[in-house]
Amino acid sequence: VEILFDGSTATMNTRALISAALAGLIRPQVSDVNMVSAPIMVKERGIIVAEVKRDKSGVFDGYIKLTVKTEHMTRSIAGTCFSDGKPRFIQIKGINLDAEVGQHMLYTTNADAPGIIGLLGTVCGENGVNIANFQLGRNRPGGDAIALLYLDAPFPEAVLEKVKAHKSIDSAKRLQFDVNAM
């Protein structure tokens, strides 16, 4: 696990941020983890954590990037806060985007192709799911793409299954965030 602090975030006391990131990372396997226990639990599991701090290197004043490497794959996510104070995703799996973090979200991956926006909008609309915000990103024309939908309410399981069943969608996941804690 590598946690990169770029620009203004590199000058912060990062201990609490690292603990929060580690807690979020292992929560799917250990439900009773918290910010205090997370660093210990990660160490007990043999997970190596590297903290990297660097001067501003991009268009953002500061951002944090979490990268997880396993023997099979590498995944990363980066986020920042703009002047409005709201957290945003700015990169997922190397794909740039600008998505406000919402309490209820849908994350999909697919090949970049015509019709995905319409598909997701239609499935949501036909099932009474209101989209508050819809953000897209791709690595190149016709390549890998990501959609992040910020929703007014939790995404129903039955609707998630409809999205997953579509041949154009590689994966779809519901995301839930405690936006009051941000």
The domains of the chain are located at 1-81, 102-182
- Quick one: which of 151, 65, 61, 139 has its CA closest to 101? 151
| Fold of the CATH domain 1-81 | 60s Ribosomal Protein L30; Chain: A; (3.30.1330)
102-182 and 1-81 share a CATH fold = no
Name the pLDDT band for 182 (thresholds 50, 70, 90).
low
Average pLDDT of span 122-134 = 97
- Per-residue model confidence as pLDDT tens digits over 74-88: 999 999 988 788 899
- Run of H or E residues at 61: none
User: How confident is the model at residue 151, as a pLDDT?
Assistant: 97
pLDDT at 178 over 90: no
Residue 179, pLDDT above cutoff 80: no
Q: Which residue has the tokens 């994350």?
A: 107
**Structural class in CATH, domain 102-182:** alpha beta
Q: Angle at the Cα of 137 (from 54 to 8), degrees rounded to 5?
A: 20
Between CA 99 and CA 90 the distance in angstroms is 7
Residue 25, CA distances (Å) to 19, 84, 88, 133, 179 in order: 10, 26, 18, 25, 17
For 90, half-sphere exposure in the C-beta direction (CA atoms, 13 angstrom radius) is: 17
pLDDT confidence of 94, banded at 50, 70, 90?
very high
pLDDT confidence of residue 181:
64
Name the DSSP class of 180. Answer: G
Q: Would the CA dihedral through 82, 143, 149, 135 be positive or negative?
A: positive
pLDDT of 168 reads 93
Q: What is the largest CA-CA distance in the chain?
A: 48
**What is the radius of gyration, based on Cα positions, of the chain?**
17
